[in-house]
Amino acid sequence: MAETIDKIIVIVGYLLAILIPILGLIAGIVLYFVKKEDPFYQKHAKYIMILAVVVWVLGFVLTLAMA
């Protein structure tokens, strides 16, 4: 049961990073610092933060390109 909840939390983090990058970045930071002892969360928190920044930058670049 706990393993399923862990996976759901990580999936929600990835979805936030893609759909609302600022919230995804915040979720990644929170996961990274709250779950320091768990390598599963550490790995995915880094990926969530990276994905959020990439989506944010791509959105910014595409917005500038359209203007």
**Calculated CA dihedral for residues 55, 60, 66, 67, nearest 10 degrees:** 170
pLDDT, tens digit, 9 for 90 and up, residues 11-53: 999 999 999 999 999 999 999 999 889 999 999 999 999 999 9
H helical segments located in the chain: 2-19, 21-34, 39-66
Residue 20 Rama label (left phi>0; alpha psi -120 to 50; beta): beta
Write down the pTM of the prediction: 0.90
Total domains, the chain: 1
- Structural domain range at position 50: 2-66
